[in-house]
Structure 1
């Protein structure tokens, strides 16, 4: 609990100071500077720890790690240090551009406006040293726009603004009282703060944590307690959902336990995800992330020399953009992800395209949990055809109705669909959790008890009055494959019977009281004496 309190306390202070520092710059734009420099500090200090732990640098008494590194890694020796660190860490930061060096230059008024550009240029050069890690670090700071005129009208004023960011990031110790590194937690809280101030844009990069917990718990319930576990998010946003899967998985934080895979269309958001995972201690060797269009070209792997080689995962989790546009040209009917379902998802509603993509990459014993708008349950035409095919293939395991107002990007109620490929029964489990939440000023919130109720009910898989129902395939067919939750879970609350005689007595009492009051008023009115003003 101490860790959580400290992380939130640091976050609130950082957030307040950042709001002062950004001036008139939009919060979603200033986010890139705060989070980018925080990540740079993390990488630099992580490198320092590596240098000391592996006895590559051994500071003399009273000498800082950075000074020892600057002393040793010079001239021709620098390339050897860069190669060593890039091979182990995936990146290398030269002595002239470590966080400690930049911070000291700022504090001593020795920083030059060009130093920031040189710092990122050097990082990008070194990111290419290790070919196996280059995709994880290449252009990761591309969204830190050093030439943004909203930072200042001149190079000097922009550098001054960046100096303020450095001082802000540097003034906090990102360790809790027990010495545990909490910079990843602070980073995660900051992403949530920026999401809360980005309106509908927040849906592009952030899934509320409580929703992520629901998806992650559902996706990991059947997971083995040991061994490698693979997870894939085809619309990963800032990567928070992937990290929550690790949190909910038994022994999820064992080194190498989880292999993360994710894809994100928005480049800025993709960069956030790379930073987010690494700041939570995920090694570049345990993550494969890609900036690309999930629906346009299959990934991971996909077609090689005309033969399809899909990679499958133990868990697929997703909160894709709702009812997005996509290219549903007829050629995609030959795409192995979408063929076999009779139709393609409509051009203006890609929801089922994401479902079929996820199913395609789910292994035989895995679980997929995905958040979608309610329309996928009952819309007809092509979506009705696809829905029926999924049900007849016996892939759909559960339908869970969620409360409205949980997301920053929309106020509509959503639904969580759970899919499995190894089902032995042909029923579908319905849960109506739409009424269980805590009302918030901006967004509603799932409480821990609400989440626990969903998960324990899902595990029990039994009817619960006005909350859950196991629907047979015959019931589904009778409803023509319409999955609208009220057809299966009756939440109607019958009103108490009205006692007509009692109501008549109450009306008579009111009439009697009214007559008495009218009588009293008439008596008071008759006692009133009209007074005349002087001169009248």
Structure 2
């Protein structure tokens, strides 16, 4: 029976045995762990007696650490020390005895298999199966003589092979096929843990092909920080191994993965065991990558992930001490002169945190360094203002010149979402021709439709599609538009300098303009405020000068303050900043015709240009016969921000002169609040505006509508 037929057979067991016991979405809770158990059982069956004998010997000699000796005699990375095989359990007729023996059989597996069974929560299913009298039939089905899940062939009495054995690769393929079918059958969960193989193959091309000629014989570490069912790791391993062999190199690979979901962690670990990669299975860890990093001291050659996007990581953030107290060196770093440069994103979406985690694990002392491919949705490109965690991650990546390319994938290529998705490709050993540049690739049209939708997945990238995108990536050529009229280009690309994505976020201020009122109502308000502030002397000062100044409104509140300041000095008092703030708040009224409120004045610095200084809120004025520099109090209600691209000719000043001052001549930039941000806009670089319709055609449409309206009106009148 072929691998596909075996998959179909196992798939059919669910309908044959579990139909009236479980709802369809729960079949996987039994079938997946039972497939693992039967494969392990079939491998261990010929060595059963030897394992039991070694177990007895170890017990007799008081050996406590028995794990490695038992693995050695089993010849595998796992073993079972119960007196049973699955075949021994088929003769049991009493359900309670079968339950006890089957439980003992499960308890006999080695700790690594126990971990898988625990994460599958398979023991929770035993009572349900026994009560429905389904456990015995389930075991019988998996032992059906026409299906051989053993690596050893079944022979007849004459020694001829009746049913061939199943090698580890074929068994892994069968298991992957079951996982895929269960995921497709349960679409609401599929995308969280299952990345389509076509996407993974493209990602593998993007990180391996650029260095194909530079891969040497040796050992390479591959890492997935959100490994799900492990498909990304195994496909990447296959691709790297084949690529090395094609270039005459002998390599070994070690797989490392972490997964927070218990069941998918169990599937990933079980898949590697079924493929005979027991050592690799031990490197798959359960837990949250963000708050409980399983590999804090390791660095990896190649890293691939499809982290969860749009998913809260608030629980992780709380475990790490909260945003203010988080000190994890993966997420709080030194950059741009900031000793505590924060890469911590919003708690509502932690996808870019997974990228930061990978960047912290890059190899920095090897010729190849590290290469990364990671899937994100569109928000990672632009969400987050300058200074936010998201923008800071983009800034850190681009200013270190690690970003090679971003590929826009076809919409509808994932199982549980139809939104736009992108593959980020990064390296800390960029080729010379890529330095200082980022390649944007629009591959949204590079796919073929599926004959039948799989959840929200309505298309796939075939081998030709993957090759086309890979070739465009390797060529690093600008292909923004079709070269000739009528030509259809499925893949478009632009290569842009790093600075194309950076900008300054500047705060634009305008002066606070207040007119002072000293009428009776204002003086009474000031008295109440002064009493509340325990400073009645301030109200006395204002009452003393009010008759001289008059009720107002006074359009120069600075002159009013100067008069009150003089009166205070005469009484050996001072008009402190706190007192001035109270006077402005109570006596001042916004008036666009009033003079700006002066916050500070100082001597002009030698060599400064008044016009340039004015752009930053420092104005030269003549006061009392001398030139002073005044700084105005900004009006929060008139405050605005602008994004100035790094590539703006003339920089911030030119932008302000062109875009701001013609509309607000008294505006200035608060240079102390300028921040650096980065965002990546595919829309801006690849947008194709639709051509405007011909005026004659529009005119014809309007005339046709008028005729239609006239006909309808005549019909209404005739009917009346």
Using structure 1 for the length normalisation, give the TM-score. Answer: 0.77
- Provide the residue aligned with 2:191 in structure 1: 203
Does 1:215 find its partner at 2:203?
A: yes
- Provide the residue aligned with 2:596 in structure 1: none
Aligned residues: 464
Contact map agreement 1:95 1:101 (CA 8 A) in 2: no
- Provide the residue aligned with 2:238 in structure 1: 247
2:686 is paired with a residue whose SS is coil
Cα separation, partners in 2 of 1:79 and 1:393, compared to 1, 3 Å:
farther
Does 1:164 find its partner at 2:164?
A: no
Contact map agreement 2:52 2:83 (CA 8 A) in 1: no
Does 1:145 find its partner at 2:130?
A: no
Q: Structure 2, unaligned stretches of length 5 or more?
A: 152-162, 334-340, 482-491, 503-644, 647-676, 708-720
Task: Look at both structures and tell me which one has the larger radius of gyration over its CA atoms.
Answer: 2
- Provide the residue aligned with 2:440 in structure 1: 430
Cα separation, partners in 2 of 1:235 and 1:7, compared to 1, 3 Å:
same
Q: Kindly provide the CA deviation profile for residues 447-482 of structure 1, in whole angstroms up to 9, marking residues without a partner as x.
A: 221111121211111122441111112433348732
2:40 is paired with a residue whose SS is helix
The offset of 1:337, in angstroms, is 0.5
1:281 is paired with a residue whose SS is coil
Cα separation, partners in 2 of 1:345 and 1:282, compared to 1, 3 Å:
same
- Provide the residue aligned with 1:35 in structure 2: 32
Aligned mates of 2:140, 2:172 — CA distance in 1: 19
- Provide the residue aligned with 1:455 in structure 2: 470
Aligned mates of 1:173, 1:360 — CA distance in 2: 45
Contact map agreement 1:256 1:286 (CA 8 A) in 2: no
Aligned mates of 1:437, 1:150 — CA distance in 2: 47
Cα separation, partners in 2 of 1:106 and 1:408, compared to 1, 3 Å:
farther
- Provide the residue aligned with 2:148 in structure 1: 173
- Provide the residue aligned with 1:527 in structure 2: none
Q: Kindly provide the CA deviation profile for residues 395-438 of structure 1, in whole angstroms up to 9, marking residues without a partner as x.
A: 21111001122222222121110111122401101111112222
- Provide the residue aligned with 2:425 in structure 1: 418
Aligned mates of 2:251, 2:97 — CA distance in 1: 40
Using structure 2 for the length normalisation, give the TM-score. Answer: 0.58
When structure 1 is superposed on structure 2, of 384-393 and 242-251 the one drifting more is 384-393
Cα separation, partners in 2 of 1:86 and 1:335, compared to 1, 3 Å:
same
Does 1:350 find its partner at 2:350?
A: yes
Out of 286, 293, 297, which is 1:298 matched to? 293
Contact map agreement 1:438 1:445 (CA 8 A) in 2: yes
- Provide the residue aligned with 1:380 in structure 2: 384
When structure 1 is superposed on structure 2, of 481-490 and 190-199 the one drifting more is 481-490
Aligned mates of 1:335, 1:269 — CA distance in 2: 27
Comparing both structures, which one devotes a greater share of its residues to strand? 2
Contact map agreement 2:3 2:174 (CA 8 A) in 1: yes
Contact map agreement 2:303 2:371 (CA 8 A) in 1: yes
Cα separation, partners in 2 of 1:280 and 1:225, compared to 1, 3 Å:
farther
- Provide the residue aligned with 1:6 in structure 2: 2
Aligned mates of 2:10, 2:114 — CA distance in 1: 27
Cα separation, partners in 2 of 1:183 and 1:90, compared to 1, 3 Å:
closer
Contact map agreement 2:99 2:126 (CA 8 A) in 1: no
Q: Kindly provide the CA deviation profile for residues 196-246 of structure 1, in whole angstroms up to 9, marking residues without a partner as x.
A: 112221233211111121222223232625311101111111111111111
- Provide the residue aligned with 2:371 in structure 1: 367
1:416 is paired with a residue whose SS is strand
Does 1:15 find its partner at 2:11?
A: yes
- Provide the residue aligned with 1:189 in structure 2: 177
Contact map agreement 1:82 1:93 (CA 8 A) in 2: no
Aligned mates of 2:224, 2:10 — CA distance in 1: 30
Q: Structure 1, unaligned stretches of length 5 or more?
A: 52-65, 128-135, 303-309, 512-536
Does 1:275 find its partner at 2:270?
A: yes
User: Cα RMSD over matched residues?
Assistant: 3.6
Q: Kindly provide the CA deviation profile for residues 21-74 of structure 1, in whole angstroms up to 9, marking residues without a partner as x.
A: 32152444321321112112222233356x4xxxxxxxxxxxxxx6x6599679
